[in-house]
């Protein structure tokens, strides 16, 4: 049993080392991603400045309205989903009641 406990300890150490290697890979990937983003940032800032110079009022309005537009889009999608569920719910109730009574759903017949 002493030998098996040493083997399991060795396996545990190897597993921990594997986890550490995986974490280091993840960190390296994140650093690479940040470096890429920082390299692209000047281009994006330059494009934004050009847009602001060409259309100053539009860019100000867009910056202020963006959260509102996203909110409206989300609310619209959510409302549509609720309406679909609202239409399906009575059918679900009818199927459930018929099934509880031991009959096939009435709308199938």
In terms of domains, do 38 and 62 share one?
no
In terms of domains, do 12 and 30 share one?
yes
Query: Distance from CA of residue 13 to its chain's centroid?
Result: 34
The pTM score is: 0.32
How distant, in Å, are the alpha carbons of 63, 65, 83, 87 from that of 76? 21, 16, 11, 17
CB 104 within 8 A of CB 98: yes
Q: 14 lies in which domain range?
A: 1-54
In terms of domains, do 47 and 80 share one?
no
| Number of domain units in the chain | 2
pLDDT in tens, the chain (109 residues): 545 666 666 666 666 667 777 788 888 899 888 888 877 777 777 888 887 788 878 777 777 888 888 888 888 888 888 788 777 777 777 777 777 777 766 655 4
Q: Which two tokens stand for residue 108?
A: 């199938």
Of 34, 54, 74, the residue at which a domain comes to its end is 54
In terms of domains, do 61 and 46 share one?
no
């Amino acid at each position: 049993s002493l030998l098996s406990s040493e083997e399991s300890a060795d396996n545990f150490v190897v597993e921990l080392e594997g986890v550490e290697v995986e974490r280091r890979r993840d960190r390296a990937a994140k650093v690479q991603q940040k470096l890429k983003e920082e390299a692209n940032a000047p281009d994006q800032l330059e494009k934004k400045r050009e847009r602001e110079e060409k259309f100053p009022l539009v860019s100000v309005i867009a910056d202020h309205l963006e959260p509102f537009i996203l909110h409206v889009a989300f609310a619209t999608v959510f409302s549509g989903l609720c309406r679909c569920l609202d239409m399906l719910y009575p059918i679900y109730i009818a199927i459930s009641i018929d099934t509880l009574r031991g009959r096939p759903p009435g709308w199938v017949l």
